[in-house]
Structure 1
Amino acid sequence: MTDLFLLTAAQMRRIKPYFPLSHGIARVDDRRVISGIVFVIRNGLRWRDAPREYGPHKTIYNRFVRWSRLGVFNKIFAELARKAGKPARLMIDATHLKAHRTAASLLKKGLFLRRIGRTKGGLNSKLHAVCDGQGRPVIMLLSEGQMSDYKGAALIIDALPPARELLGDKGYDADWLRQALAERGIKACIPSRSNRKTPIEHDRVLYRQRHKIENMFGRLKDWRRIHTRYDRCAHTFMSAICIAATVIFWL
């Protein structure tokens, strides 16, 4: 077990309150199964290739899918991020996540959207994220790859926590976004686009801190099932992202 991942007892105590209640027969050991899910996502394995120390691979896979549909992993991420307190500084950005051929069908089947789009780089999804001043994600949104940055910002702006300032690149230089931030008492530190007739000044020294959200994306993409999307369903892929963000930044 030396090379395997295992959640500590302290980490389990933090996330256990958000687990669904067990009805009837007691569940298989939560610590072992959740650790197996983390191991598979981090190393980009097929579920059937999960080490036998974590138990039957079907148990691990079924728990991941069932709890993904219930939104359990999303809730754990959101609650742990909320308990960290109100950040003084926010950063916003987005990154592309390439869809593997096993998940890359654009044809919608079933109830849930796939959130896979087509760009010059092929079929991919886009992860929009807001992080705090330490580079820890607090809000995440999955969309089709062709969605622009400021359209993604429009979907998450109502969920922004109170903050003093928000850092973003030129992709977020839109008058409506600056106005929306001002109404919330948030100062925008966003460079002007090259085609803006009257450039808007920004704090260049403060803007250098924006590398922290880029570092955050890099750490998420170190997990192989995040860097390349294998999941056909958007809710399972988003659950994998939430699991990675929770383990890396909030546990």
Structure 2
Amino acid sequence: MSGLFLLSARQMARISPFFPLAHGVPRVDDRRVVSGIVYVIKNGLQWKDAPKGYGPHKTLYNRFIRWSRLGVFDRIFAALAAEGPKPEQIMIDSTHLKAHRTAASLFKKGVLSRCIGRTKGGLNSKLHVVCDSGGKPLAMLLTEGQMSDHKGARMMLKAFPPASALIADKGYDSDWFREELRARGTEPCIPPTRSRKSPLDYDKVLYRQRHKIENLFAKLKDWRRISTRYDRCAHTFFSAICIAAAVAFYLNQ
């Protein structure tokens, strides 16, 4: 297995407590399989194209699907994101992730959404992220591509960590959002839209830090199976995003 990407023993020690317990027959080596899953998502491969050193590709795929349904990767990301100190400032923004044709078949009405919607750019999903002042993701939400930033922010309010200020672009400028933030003890740093009749002040020096959340999205989109969505089910795609965020921002530190 020389030359293959493998998670280190220290990295495995941080995430292995969240793995399900094995029952009956001993499970195939967790380090090799999880490293193979990371490799496939990072490089945008089909599962069948995974290097042979990681073992049978069906084992990688089955482990990824089974643990995604159990929410294992979601819990790993949430636990790693909660380990750090209380952030002084937080930021919120969203980005579109293009849905490949293999993922674009939608469920019929009345069935759970796959979080794929149609916008001017075609079929895509939308990733809403709250991050700290260093650009590390703290909370994430996957929705249909046409969902507005305001609605996404409303759905994420309970996940906002306590902070002295929140930085966002003018797409989040609304009275209800500003009032909600102040009620939580968070000062909004949001430039007003042109449609406002009376201008609002905001900290222009602090607002310059907003590029860090844009850098976050760029780093996530370096992972090929994140920048282009191939997974039909929303929970499997979100699990891939959680794996990318955990490895890129927490396990490599």
Report the secondary structure of 2:42's partner residue.
helix
Give 2:69's aligned residue: 69
Give 2:40's aligned residue: 40
Give 1:22's aligned residue: 22
Separation in 2, partners of 1:116, 1:99: 7
Give 2:238's aligned residue: 238
- Amino acid corresponding to residue 202 of structure 1 in structure 2: Y
**Superposition deviation, residue 246 in structure 1:** 0.1
Identity of aligned residues (%): 69
Give 1:202's aligned residue: 202
Give 2:221's aligned residue: 221
**Superposition deviation, residue 108 in structure 1:** 3.5
Separation in 2, partners of 1:172, 1:188: 10
Give 1:11's aligned residue: 11
Q: Is the 8 A contact 2:107 2:113 kept in 1?
A: no
1:216 to 1:70, Cα distance in 2 relative to 1, 3 A = same
Separation in 2, partners of 1:42, 1:129: 20
Q: Is the 8 A contact 2:191 2:202 kept in 1?
A: yes
Give 2:54's aligned residue: 54
1:8 to 1:212, Cα distance in 2 relative to 1, 3 A = same
Report the secondary structure of 1:114's partner residue.
coil
Q: Tell me, which stretches of 5 or more residues in structure 1 are unaligned? A: none
Separation in 1, partners of 2:52, 2:109: 33
Separation in 1, partners of 2:5, 2:212: 26
**Superposition deviation, residue 2 in structure 1:** 5.2
Give 1:177's aligned residue: 177
TM-superposition CA deviations, 1:15-44 (whole Å, max 9, x none):
011111111111100000000000000000
Within the alignment, does 1:167 sit opposite 2:174 as a pair?
Answer: no
Separation in 1, partners of 2:4, 2:165: 41
Q: Is the 8 A contact 2:129 2:139 kept in 1?
A: yes
CA RMSD of aligned residues (A): 1.2
Q: Tell me, which stretches of 5 or more residues in structure 2 are unaligned? A: none
**Superposition deviation, residue 85 in structure 1:** 2.4
Q: Is the 8 A contact 1:108 1:114 kept in 2?
A: no
- Amino acid corresponding to residue 119 of structure 2 in structure 1: T
Report the secondary structure of 2:206's partner residue.
helix
> What is the number of residues matched between the two proteins?
251
Separation in 2, partners of 1:217, 1:130: 11
Which residues of 2 match residues 75-94 of structure 1 at below 5 A?
75-94=75-94
**Superposition deviation, residue 106 in structure 1:** 2.8
- Amino acid corresponding to residue 7 of structure 2 in structure 1: L
Give 2:211's aligned residue: 211
Which residues of 2 match residues 143-162 of structure 1 at below 5 A?
143-162=143-162
Report the secondary structure of 1:74's partner residue.
helix
**Superposition deviation, residue 3 in structure 1:** 4.4
Report the secondary structure of 2:85's partner residue.
coil
**Structure 1 ranges of 4+ moved more than 3 A:** 107-112
Mean Cα deviation higher: 94-103 or 192-201? 192-201
Q: Is the 8 A contact 1:181 1:187 kept in 2?
A: yes
Report the secondary structure of 1:102's partner residue.
helix
Give 1:120's aligned residue: 120
**Superposition deviation, residue 110 in structure 1:** 9.7
- Taking structure 2 as the reference length, the TM-score comes to 0.97
Q: Is the 8 A contact 1:130 1:139 kept in 2?
A: yes
Report the secondary structure of 1:244's partner residue.
helix
Separation in 2, partners of 1:51, 1:158: 41
**Superposition deviation, residue 4 in structure 1:** 2.5
Q: Is the 8 A contact 2:115 2:143 kept in 1?
A: yes
